[in-house]
Every structure is written in structure tokens, then in C-alpha cells.
Amino acid sequence: MINKKDVEYVADLAKLYLNEEEIEMYTKQLDSILEYIEKLDQLDTSNVAPTAHILPMKNVFREDQIEASLEIEDVLKNAPSTEDNCFEVPKVIE
Amino acid sequence: MGLHKKTAFEIKESIKNKEIKAVEVVESLLKHIEKTEKDIKAFVRLTPDIAMDQAKKVDEKIAKGEELGDLAGVPMALKDNICTQGVVTSCSSKMLENFIPSYSATVNEKLGQAEAVLLGKSNMDEFAMGSTTETSAFHMTKNPWDLNKVPGGSSGGSAAMVSADQAYFALGTDTGGSVRQPAAFCGVVGLKPTYGLVSRYGVVAFASSLDQVGTLTKDVKDSALVLNTLAGHDKKDATSAGVKKVDYLDGIEKGIKGLKIGIPKEFFGQGLSTSVEKALNEAIYTLKQLGAECENISLPYSEYALPAYYIISSAEASSNLARFDGIRYGYRPEDFDNLEDLYKKARSQGFGSEVKRRIMLGTHALSSGHYDAYYKKAMKVRTLIKEDFDKAFKKYDILVSPTNPSTAFNIGAKIEDPLEIYLTDIYTVPLNIAGLPGISIPAGFSEGNLPIGLQMIGNVFEEKTLLQAAYAFEQGTDFHKKRPTFGKLVK
């Protein structure tokens, strides 16, 4: 259902580092969980519409009016690293 | 004085009628918490200064004869995934260990307007992922009925503290049963409202199409009392429903004569423990004695709810937790080589193993080549499950089932095999999939004196009927009056 290579690939997509022991463990566990989930294949859903959202709501808009937002000071309060009212990040572009 | 043993309703009336000062109530509770917390450890954070401050303000208003909020002076706690401005909100995770929100969740604001008093934040499974509170990154909460047993999860702290009389009520969140299951394990009342009835603004998201804030209380009346404050449309939550305001206390004593109750046979099958089955059969007999008409029904697709839930919730969680990257808030590693390294170290060191497991399951389910087979398939099964319930509610007013297949198990018993823990959510999960309201109420005790919960399922936005039925059963029994003394049973 899922092998070590799949787990390594998924961990990369999810931005997680896994050591050898963890790859072993998660492969076993995810494989067992996915095997259980296979139960859904017993159902023929070819003529069933998917439910993305349980309430019959669409396009919940509000008027485009400017209202008070968070103060910049508050927004940056929890940031590990800031400069000039911005979040500081490692260089992205060479 | 036994003040801590009262209900929220009793305490609010006592304060309103000047029988006692709000400050005295807080002092009494803080003393009781000090005595009991070394054993229970339900809190991750106590806020005694805030509590005293809020209580003083209520006492001042009473002295001046001013009008009071609906919950004036009632001390409560909030699960630690509900944002409290200025107070650390950690989701019991290393990732948010020092995170201080700049705003409060709408439910917190509403409780503030009702003048309830904040005692602290309650322990939980990390990011609400778990059914035992064992995945909390900080410490384990114990079940007040037996300190070797789990309180349930993910709202284990909230359930344990209400059970141990440390708070008159607490808020939790319920994505797959996380309010109802610990309520049943701890012998208290756990309510999950209809999806959309209570605002999710400021509640750290796990699975956005399934999460709902719920209440943990000592009895059904308290549940209705708190729901009156929490329910209502919130323009800050785009998934919040615009339904007419209802007074859930009004007519709660209506009784259940002629109420049509469906008993889904799929919820009474293999895997149900003997003690739970016995208690449920006796409960159904009680419901009939109280005048309800009980009939066996079938919900053929309900057995597919659990696998569908694990795909949907994990997929949505993988998306929701992508925001935790060490940049704007949360855990950041000391050293890193580049941006990619920062992201991976922050997330690998900040998240626990259950969270990583679910993120990976969700990422896999949504990845190219798997989306149709997993996520889209689960969404289609969701339609089938909802239709099953719609059909049932054409004929029946409420449905009844056990909350959990068993009573609370030992701490550490199931943590090795994640699938084994997932399977314990089997009766609670269908309600989140279908967006329906549900309540777990005390329905007996096992031979080992562990609480057993009865689950009542209501139709969409029919909390009034649900609470009336729950109240009738509760008042027709005395299970809710029993309180634990950490291993011993006292009335």
C-alpha cells in the first residue's frame, strides 16, 4: 500500500525530516492504516456527488469595507526574527 | 464548604442572589485545584490573576445593582487550542509552547461578554489529534475515576477538570468525538453542536469541515446554559451558520412522551464491551419507561464513516498545519542552513509523532495520483453517510447509541498501535461527517466503577430536542449525581 520510498517522498512534501528508524516505523503504521481505509473500495460511488462542505452554503461574502485589522506590532510579537516591520527569513533567491 | 461541587447554574444563581461573592467562588476553586492538580493535571496553564480580576469586576457590578451577564462570576476553562488574547495558547504542542495570540476566539469573547471567569487553559492531545490526551507534549492528564486510566481525548483536560469539580464548565473541540468521548470516560456531559452553530474563529484549526467547539458540563441544564451564550452567527467565521436565535433552557423539562427514538443496529455490533452493552440496554428501557417510542433502525453506510473520517481529517489537517513553518510564529530551531532546512527542522522538532503521522497520511491522500482514490472517494462516502441520517430523521426525532465501545482504558495501553486507538472513535465520528449535533450523558458504571456514556444524536440544528431528550433521561436516573474521589465513588 505504501512503501519506504513513498514515505520518504511524502515526508519531503510535508517538510519533515525522518531518520531511518522513523521511516521504518511510519511505513509500517501508515501501511496498516491505509489497508484499513481500503474498506471504502467496497462501495460503488460512481454515481455519487462528493460533499465538500456539510452545510448548504456558497460564496459567503461581505461588503468591501475597510475595518480595523491587527496592529503590526501585535502581528510581529510572536515572530522569532524581524527587521523593519517585516518577518526576517533566510535568503530565498541567490 | 463544598462550593466546588455545585453546578454552573447553581453558582450563577447564588452569585446573582448575593448568597456568595464571585471572588469567594474563585478562591474556593483555586484551593480545590491546588489540592487535586498534583493527581489530575488537567490544566496546562492556570490564570488565577485574570480570574480574580474578572470576579472582582462582577462583585462590583452586583454591589452597584448593575445588570449581569448570563454566566456572571462562573469560573470555567478553555481547551488550549482556543485563542486567549495575551495568554499563551499552545495546543499542547512544543510548536506553540510560547505563542501568545493577539486576539481572542469568538467563543472566548462571548464568554467574556457573559462575564464568565477564566481559570485557565486545559490540557489536550497535541493539535487535537488523539483520543487519550497522551499525545500532549507537556504532561498526561489522569481520569479522576481511576488515576491509572486515560481521561479520553482530545479534550481530556476539559473533561477531567469538570469531573473533578475543578471548574464548573469547560470548552473543548470535537472533530471526531473529542468532546463526547472524554465526557463519557469521565462521567460528565459532553455536547457537540451542529456544524456551523458555534463560531470557529480563533480556534486553531485541525479539520475545518469537521471541527466544532463543544461544552463539558456537570449536567444537561448547564450544557444548555452555556450553549445559549456560544451559539450564533459570526461574520468572522465564513462557515458560521445564520440560524434563528434559540433559548435552549426554555422548555428543557418538556419530557419525552411520544418522542420517536431510532436505535441504529450498526452501533451495537461487534466490538462493544459487555458492560457498555448492558448499560445501554438498561438506558433504552428507561427511555421507554419515560414515554419514548424506541425502534431498531439501520444506517448501512455508518461503518464507512471511520475510514472516510481518517482521510478527510488528515487531509484537511495536512493543509491546516502547513502554516507552522517557524517563520511568523512558533518553534524555530537555533541553527539551520537554508530556508528548506529551517522548515524541516522547525516542523520535525516542533511536532510530535501523532501529528506527523496524520500530516503524512493527509499529504499522501492529497498527492497527485492519490487524490481521486482517497480524498474524492471519502467525500463521496460522506454524501452517502449524510443521506443515511437524513432518511432516519424523516421518521425519528433522535437516535441513540453508546458513546464509546468501552470504558476508559489504562494509560499507555494503546499508544503503540495507532490504528487501535483510531477504532475507538467508531460511534462518535459519523456525527462529524454528517455535521449533526450529539451529546454524551452519564448512563451507568462498569463493575470497576468506570463511567459509561450514552450518545444522543439530533437532526441538524435541532439542539433543543436533543437537550430535552438528554435532560429527561438524566432526570430519570441519578448517574450524573455521582462524583469521583480519585478511585473511590461518592454521591
Kindly state the average pLDDT of the residues B297-316: 96
**B307 contacts in chain A (CB < 8 Å):** 36-40
Q: Are strands B293-297 and B260-264 parallel, antiparallel or unpaired?
A: parallel
Confirm if B135 and B126 have CB atoms less than 8 A apart: yes
Active site residue B41: no
| Chain B residue with minimum CA distance to A86 | B328
**A89 contacts in chain B (CB < 8 Å):** 327, 339, 342
pTM of the predicted protein model: 0.97
**Contact across the interface for B364 and A10, Cβ inside 8 Å:** yes
**B384 contacts in chain A (CB < 8 Å):** 43, 45, 48
**Contact across the interface for A33 and B361, Cβ inside 8 Å:** yes
Decide if pLDDT at A82 tops 90.
yes
Nearest to B201 by CA among B112, B106, B110, B128: B106
| Chain A residue with minimum CA distance to B421 | A33
pLDDT digits 0-9 by tens, B351-360: 999 999 999 9
Nearest to B30 by CA among B170, B158, B167: B167
Nearest to B465 by CA among B170, B293, B260, B263: B260
Mean pLDDT is lowest, of B204-208, B308-312, B369-373, for B369-373
Give the one of A37, A49, A80 whose C-beta lies nearest to B383's C-beta.
Answer: A49
Question: What percentage of chain B has pLDDT greater than the value 90?
Answer: 94
Confirm if B382 and A51 have CB atoms less than 8 A apart: yes
Indicate the average pLDDT of chain B: 96
pLDDT digits 0-9 by tens, B20-33: 999 999 999 999 99
Decide if pLDDT at B487 tops 80.
no
ipTM, 2 dp? 0.95
Q: How many CB atoms lie within 10 A of CB B259?
A: 20
Mean pLDDT is lowest, of A67-76, B116-125, B187-196, for A67-76
Using 50, 70 and 90 to split pLDDT, how confident is the model at A57? confident
Q: Is A57 on the interface with B (CB under 8 A)?
A: yes
Decide if pLDDT at B486 tops 90.
no
**Contact across the interface for A53 and B209, Cβ inside 8 Å:** yes
Check residue B454 and give its pLDDT: 98
Nearest to B174 by CA among B153, B143, B160: B153
pLDDT digits 0-9 by tens, B88-142: 999 999 999 999 999 999 999 999 999 999 999 999 999 999 999 999 999 999 9
Best mutation target among B192, B195, B201, B363 (most A Cβ atoms within 10 Å) is: B363
Kindly state the average pLDDT of the residues B286-293: 98
Sign of CA dihedral B10, B11, B13, B18: positive
| Chain A residue with minimum CA distance to B316 | A52
**CA max distance for chain A:** 57
DSSP B219-275: SHHHHHHHHHHHBS--TT-TT---PPP--SSTTTT---TT-EEEEEGGGGSTT--HH
Check residue B423 and give its pLDDT: 87
Q: Is A87 on the interface with B (CB under 8 A)?
A: yes
Confirm if B130 and B176 have CB atoms less than 8 A apart: no
Q: Which three cell numbers stand for residue B254?
A: 418538556
Using 50, 70 and 90 to split pLDDT, how confident is the model at B488? very low
Active site residue B154: yes
Q: Is A60 on the interface with B (CB under 8 A)?
A: yes
Residues linked to residue B215 through DSSP beta bridges, in sequence order: B171, B191
Using 50, 70 and 90 to split pLDDT, how confident is the model at B489? very low
Q: Which three cell numbers stand for residue B90?
A: 499552545
Q: B305-320 and B377-395 helices cross at what angle (nearest 10)?
A: 130
Q: Which three cell numbers stand for residue B140?
A: 498526561
Using 50, 70 and 90 to split pLDDT, how confident is the model at A56? confident
**A51 contacts in chain B (CB < 8 Å):** 379-380, 382-383, 386
**B361 contacts in chain A (CB < 8 Å):** 30, 33-34
Active site residue B368: no
**A52 contacts in chain B (CB < 8 Å):** 209, 379
Give the one of A10, A55, A92 whose C-beta lies nearest to B360's C-beta.
Answer: A10
B209/B196 Cα distance (integer angstroms): 9
Give the one of A26, A42, A50 whose C-beta lies nearest to B360's C-beta.
Answer: A26
Kindly state the average pLDDT of the residues B381-388: 97
**Contact across the interface for B380 and A77, Cβ inside 8 Å:** no
Best mutation target among B348, B358, B370 (most A Cβ atoms within 10 Å) is: B348
**Contact across the interface for B356 and A16, Cβ inside 8 Å:** yes
Q: Is A23 on the interface with B (CB under 8 A)?
A: no
Highest mean pLDDT among A31-40, B91-100, B411-420: B91-100
pLDDT digits 0-9 by tens, B217-248: 999 999 999 999 999 999 999 999 989 999 99
Question: What percentage of chain A has pLDDT greater than the value 90?
Answer: 74
Decide if pLDDT at B490 tops 50.
no
**A49 contacts in chain B (CB < 8 Å):** 380, 383
Q: Is A86 on the interface with B (CB under 8 A)?
A: no
